[in-house]
Structure 1
Amino acid sequence: MTLERGFRWMRARRMRTFASAAALALASGCGPRADADEVARADAADAKETLECRITHPELSLGTRVPEASGAALDRRTRGLFWTHGDSGNDPILFAVGVNGQLLGRVRLTGARNRDWEDMAIGPCPGGTCVYVADIGNNQARPLDLVLYRAPAPAATDSATAPAEAFHARFPGNGRDAEAIFVMPDGEVYIVTKGRTEPVELWHWPTPLRAGPAVDLERVREIAPRPTQLGDYVTGAGASRNGRWVAIRTYGRLALYRAADLLAGGGRPYTLELAALGETWGEGVAIDDDGTVLLVSEGSGHHTGSAAAWLRCALPAT
């Protein structure tokens, strides 16, 4: 079933998600300067490019074995294997999951605490390839430290990682709620704010990452005005391995950016409505170089078990 056919079917019945009927305001401006923010606001109402995707593995139940799947990352060694983790208050466990939703491993992130884990990534680090876990959730937008954990990427058969490094940062001024990070091939780390109490913004975590007191995050740009509907809150992000594409998702929509455009402030995203998937509390996203996209969701009321879906998207020419 294609997503387009699915959308027609879903419009004939009651929506099962909190997806917004309004367009996702993930627009872009002309550069990381103040005037780029003005362009972003003006562009937010403009039509976006449509992304062509098909569902390859729909509504894979992860059950209660994976509580509140929040972030997602694709394994670098085994195709079809992905990693996810629980939300706030769950054990500091990374779950290895197969392409059909089967649980293949539970790996403890050694030395870490899950205050409010929201997203994860797998990317380069000084020792090779590492897993990054972002303890950045902040529903009340309080001025508190964000924690980024980093450890050598585990195998699904491991019981625990090597001891994780912990890096601390803060949003300068007022706190912000965020649930999305991505790591580029050069090791640069970025956060996208949720938009709950502020515009959707892109922030940079100063690198090289260093242990010690919290550092100030660096604001790159405003991506969109503050959303007016729940379905437009940003809940996850991920960069392709080759660094050409960044996926940003909300509860109701997927947006793919050319990474160069997103970071420099130009170009508009290719977008896709996700209503046909029937997600409840869609949370995480990961993307591969060939247009394979993974989406994970927490489950209804956070108690009915997590789910995942695989898409294959036709990436526009770069």
Structure 2
Amino acid sequence: MLEARPRATTLLVGAAAAALVLASAVPAAAATTAGPAITLRGASSASSTSGDSVTVPKPAGTVAGDVLVARVANRGDVTASMTSAGWTPVGSTQSAALLKSVVLVRVATGGEPSSYTFDVSEPTNLAATVTAYDNVDNADPVDTFAGRVNGNLDLFTTPSVTSTVGNAMAVWFGTQLYTGTDCLVDAITPPSGLTEVLDDCLAPGGSGLAVETAQRQLGAPAVRSGWTGSSDFLRTNVTQVLTLRPASAVQTASRYASSSTDVGKLWEGYDLLGNRDTWLSDDTLHEPSGLAASRVNPGVQYVHSESDVQGMVAVSTTNARVVGRYDVAIPQQWDWEDIATGPCPSGSCLFAGDIGRANGKPNPPSTFAVYRVAEPDLAAGETRGTLRGDWFRFRYPDAPHNAEAMMVHPVTGRIYVITKEADGRSGVYAFPTTLPAPSSTTVTTLTQVATLDVPTWTGDPDDTHAATWFAQVTAASIHPAGDRFLLRTPYRVYEYRAPAGSSFESAFDAAPVTLTAPSNEAQGEAIEYAPDGSAYYTLGERQSPPFTLKRVDRR
């Protein structure tokens, strides 16, 4: 049988990923750039010995609109065809006599079956894998494809591919003749810089197959070459790689509307008179302090409570209705100040920044933390409950700081924390590009990557509130195109834009562009882009409801 071995849990970033150029041109009004990051939904595998078909379970978590990628390999008859109803062939690669691998794709529907059967024209030993991805262009999912045979080698040399769009996902397949009698060791190692998704094998008495699936989120369009995997033994192998197109183009803008639009007051149901009940209980949402756009649930923003309250809600960006309620089990919580979504081993995760100092636990804290949980899937019924995940404690390299802004890069996954300073000189600190293993005891020392210039108050010096709070950063968010970010203070909204062709971190040196700060919002504490970059959302911190979600559209 095909025996699944443990999946790697490395975050989908690396030193090479950090070097990708993520910026795009910014014309006078607006531009269309790369789409949102593609994320892995799940993976599954199966095998068949001397049969005429193989049946693979649907990957867990698959929903309508996901793009499924199948690799079906046989040993023994390269003339055999391998097909399945509803699947579109992408490419086939074969050796002279014994090894053949076919790659196919399909778009998941609302009535998706629980498994997929792939038929072969001649009985052979079969191994098959299926991976599911979200945020892929349903109309034209495959950007590029290439395959190569490596004869009787322990190296998996991969042909070069040219991604033609930004934020493409590279899916790598390694398939090899396998003579082992069991599957107790990792037979294939994927190329450096790629993250393992599946590592399985079929071992029927020395006439088996080893299969490996790996992936890498790409940045700007470019030629990708030099990827080489390896094996524990010398046997004929096939390498194949395809790149998937992101779902929709992300819009970047140099101009936004001069006023905001009220999405609505957050509400959860109806009162006895049939009106929307906007008076959310304190245990549902307490002093909202951060926003994060869902990459799993279309049209949803997450809103979290302030301080040591663990409540968070999922809110519709169509009518501001609360569509999910959760607790985020942050251990030893001090002062939860901001949230963000970003890539992670499970696909898309919520990152909760326990980065403030208001509660003084300890007083003042010298170590802080970011907590990471997989996004809930509303379509799968995950609308209530407690979210648990991974803990990443950190300290600053110089001294403890107060901070209320955290952001996660949508492609590299790098986590940034921006400190809260009255003098307008906010420090920008970052986790390593590859996160350490999750741990309750490991404390990572962040790197200061920039000092941000935030405009300070130049008005009436007797306005002590403005003079004190005007430049203090309360929230931040990276654009889904990965080349700019929003910064929120109690009085202003700014966007920092990387020069065309430069890395994301060059945006920290850019002059801030003043954008629309919604009026009548009390204390501005939360900001987030729409997933397609067409707008940004804000929410003011109030001690009691109603809480109004606002949107500022691009122009």
Q: TM-score, normalised by structure 2?
A: 0.44
1:242 aligns with 2:481: yes
Note the 1:165-180 alignment, pairs <5 A.
165-180=390-405
3-state SS in 2 of match to 1:241: coil
Give 2:446's aligned residue: 217
CA distance in 1, matches of 2:351, 2:304: 11
Give 1:149's aligned residue: 371
How far 1:93 sits from its partner (Å)? Answer: 2.4
CA distance in 1, matches of 2:422, 2:352: 21
Per-residue CA deviations over 1:204-262 (Å, capped at 9, x if unaligned) read 12242222321211111111269543132110011122212211111111111225576
- 2:367 and 2:400 in contact (8 A); partners too: no
- 1:130 and 1:150 in contact (8 A); partners too: yes
- 2:351 and 2:373 in contact (8 A); partners too: yes
Please identify which structure carries the higher strand content. Answer: 2
How far 1:82 sits from its partner (Å)? Answer: 0.6
- 1:69 and 1:307 in contact (8 A); partners too: no
CA distance in 1, matches of 2:489, 2:302: 19
CA distance in 1, matches of 2:523, 2:333: 19
Structure possessing the higher radius of gyration over alpha carbons: 2
CA distance in 2, matches of 1:273, 1:290: 15
CA distance in 2, matches of 1:234, 1:51: 22
Give 1:309's aligned residue: 550
CA distance in 1, matches of 2:333, 2:304: 10
Distance 1:287 1:225, change over 3 A: closer
What runs of 5+ residues in structure 1 fail to find an aligned partner? 1-49
- 2:396 and 2:446 in contact (8 A); partners too: yes
Aligned length: 262
CA distance in 2, matches of 1:143, 1:196: 20
Note the 1:215-294 alignment, pairs <5 A.
215-224=444-453, 227=456, 228-259=467-498, 260=502, 263-264=505-506, 265-274=508-517, 276-288=518-530, 289-294=532-537
Note the 1:1-318 alignment, pairs <5 A.
51-55=255-259, 57-58=261-262, 60-62=264-266, 63-65=278-280, 66-90=285-309, 92-99=310-317, 100-110=319-329, 112=331, 114-139=333-358, 142-156=364-378, 157-158=381-382, 159-160=384-385, 163-184=388-409, 185-196=411-422, 199-210=425-436, 211=439, 212-224=441-453, 227=456, 228-259=467-498, 260=502, 263-264=505-506, 265-274=508-517, 276-288=518-530, 289-299=532-542, 302-314=543-555
Distance 1:225 1:107, change over 3 A: closer
How far 1:149 sits from its partner (Å)? Answer: 0.5
Distance 1:111 1:117, change over 3 A: closer
What runs of 5+ residues in structure 2 fail to find an aligned partner? 1-253, 267-277, 457-466
CA distance in 2, matches of 1:98, 1:153: 15
How far 1:89 sits from its partner (Å)? Answer: 2.4
- 1:55 and 1:309 in contact (8 A); partners too: no
CA RMSD of aligned residues (A): 2.6
- 1:297 and 1:306 in contact (8 A); partners too: yes
3-state SS in 1 of match to 2:308: coil
- 1:261 and 1:267 in contact (8 A); partners too: no
- 2:397 and 2:446 in contact (8 A); partners too: yes
How far 1:175 sits from its partner (Å)? Answer: 1.3
Q: TM-score, normalised by structure 1?
A: 0.74
CA distance in 2, matches of 1:79, 1:85: 18
- 2:482 and 2:504 in contact (8 A); partners too: no
Distance 1:213 1:251, change over 3 A: same
CA distance in 2, matches of 1:174, 1:225: 21
- Counterpart AA for 1:116: D
- 2:327 and 2:387 in contact (8 A); partners too: no
- Counterpart AA for 1:152: A
